[in-house]
Amino acid sequence: MPVQLPYIFYGNTDCASVASSLRMTLVARLNSYYIFFSAFFAFPAVNSYGLFKLRVTGTKIAIGIYALLNNVSRGYTQNKIGFKFMNRTKKINGLVSIIAINYNQTQVTFEMLDSMENLNYSQYEIIIVDNGSADRSIEKIRVDYPDVIFVESVQNLGFAGGNNLGLAHASGEFVFFTNNDTEVLPGTLDPLVEKLKESDKIGMVCPKIRFHYQPDTIQFAGYTALNKITVRNNLIGYREKDTGQYDTSRKSPFGHGAAMMVKREVIQQVGTMADMYFLYYEELDWCTRISSKGFEIWYVPDSLIYHKESISTGKMSPLKTYYITRNRILYTRRNIKGFNFFLSIIYQVIISGPKNMLQFIIKGRLDLFLAYIRGYLWHLGHLFDKNIKLNPTPYTQNKGV
């Protein structure tokens, strides 16, 4: 099985350090030129060769190579010890690290970055993770936005994996995860930071989200509680005209993955997002873990962001159907306990599943029907997988953080 270089970091920095999660960390100190090298990796029962081409743009770059070869399967790679990340720099108090993922959407990412040029908050850095784009989007973005930190992944790591990769390069006291299909306003960051500073108990905050193409219409004003049987909840204010009816800040059971700010210290205690989800439900899982540690999640309406919903996956695509089906059951297996667990599995497999599949057949959407089946079959293949309940460990910090 070939070992792939998980990412290449591009940026102007004295040193970038990444912790190896297996037996070997290779640190290369290079000047600006191209270099080819091949490396031999010896792991239990697996011998792998890799050939990598690295482009080095800083005067000193340290590149850590790690391979996670245990339990490689459709959609996720998970090692028994989970992912461990090491910061490249010390924490900077007051700094907000903005992390967004780009995947074959150069123009959309341009529009997001342009909206950030007018932010009122003075202390922030922007980290763009290119998630294995085939169109070489990162090359185009780097030219026009030289001050942005770029991290390039050789393969698509999914939403959680991509954000976790960006997190390894974040220096902020606060981390703002946002979709690249969003646009911010000048005052988006300030209320979020202020709310997080109010109490040590507050671990995550989210802005009000409106639809970009219907700017007077709400997408998110908080969440309702999750039903432990159906594993579904509702967006508060969804598709309602914004008349100020949700302008009071309040606690929410969950944050919204399109825009959520988290304290660095919370991530250190809880760990990073579970990458096995790949797409959908990972933020709900993360919010569940954050709440289980005693931290609160707040909706902050004084902060506003606009979202171009479902640009990357489509509103009713097979990709979206597969991951929502698979990950709803995955969330159940990871977080629902006791008698509710059995009731939830029965509901999803015997009641909800057949109903949805019948609707797809009636509508002539064989592609969605097959995607739904694949979502179920994934769990049959991982029925006794012990890594299902594995949580990534908190990323490691440099001394002095």
Shared domain check, 270 and 121? yes
330-338 long-range contacts (CB < 8 A, ≥24 apart) are 330/276, 330/277, 330/281, 330/379, 330/388, 331/231, 331/281, 331/284, 331/285, 332/231, 333/379, 333/388, 333/389, 334/274, 334/285, 334/388, 334/389, 335/285, 335/288, 336/228, 336/231
pLDDT per position as a tens digit, 84-121: 343 444 678 899 999 999 998 889 999 999 999 999 99
Mean pLDDT (whole number) for 385-394: 81
For residue 356, being part of any structural domain is answered with: yes
Neighbours of 253 (CB within 10 A): 15
User: Reduced to 3 DSSP states, what percent helix, strand and coil does the chain have, rounded to the nearest 5?
Assistant: 30, 25, 45
In the numeric block, which tokens belong to residue 397? 């910090």
Domain of residue 362, residue span = 318-389
pLDDT per position as a tens digit, 334-353: 999 999 999 999 999 999 99
Of 137-141, 183-187, 343-347, 367-371, minimum mean pLDDT range? 137-141
Shared domain check, 197 and 102? yes
For residue 159, being part of any structural domain is answered with: yes
Cα atoms in the 13 Å half-sphere on the side-chain side of 207: 28
State the pLDDT at residue 210: 97
State the pLDDT at residue 80: 26
Query: Taking the model in full, what pTM does it have?
Result: 0.77
State the pLDDT at residue 386: 86
Of 327-331, 365-369, 386-390, minimum mean pLDDT range? 386-390
State the pLDDT at residue 377: 94
Domain count, the chain: 3
Is residue 312 within 8 A of residue 105, CB to CB? The reply is: yes
CATH label of the domain that carries residue 140: 3.90.550.10
For residue 400, being part of any structural domain is answered with: no
Question: What is the torsion angle, in degrees rounded to the nearest 10, for the CA atoms of residue 251, residue 252, residue 253 and residue 258?
Answer: -140
Per-residue CA distances from 224 to 123, 161, 249 (Å): 33, 26, 15
Shared domain check, 245 and 337? no
State the pLDDT at residue 11: 40
Shared domain check, 151 and 33? no
Last residue of a domain, one of 28, 50, 67: 67
Mean pLDDT (whole number) for 80-86: 33
CA 229 distance to own-chain centroid: 26
Shared domain check, 303 and 210? yes
Shared domain check, 216 and 100? yes
Instruction: For residue 167, give the H/E element and its range.
Output: helix 158-167
Mean pLDDT (whole number) for 207-219: 95
For residue 207, being part of any structural domain is answered with: yes
Q: Who has greater pLDDT, 61 or 324?
A: 324
For residue 1, being part of any structural domain is answered with: no
Shared domain check, 290 and 206? yes
Shared domain check, 299 and 326? no
Mean pLDDT (whole number) for 288-292: 96
Mean pLDDT (whole number) for 307-320: 73
For residue 130, being part of any structural domain is answered with: yes
d(CA 389, CA 346): 20
Mean pLDDT (whole number) for 53-68: 33
pLDDT per position as a tens digit, 152-203: 998 999 999 999 999 999 999 999 999 999 999 999 999 999 999 999 999 9
Last residue of a domain, one of 307, 338, 363: 307
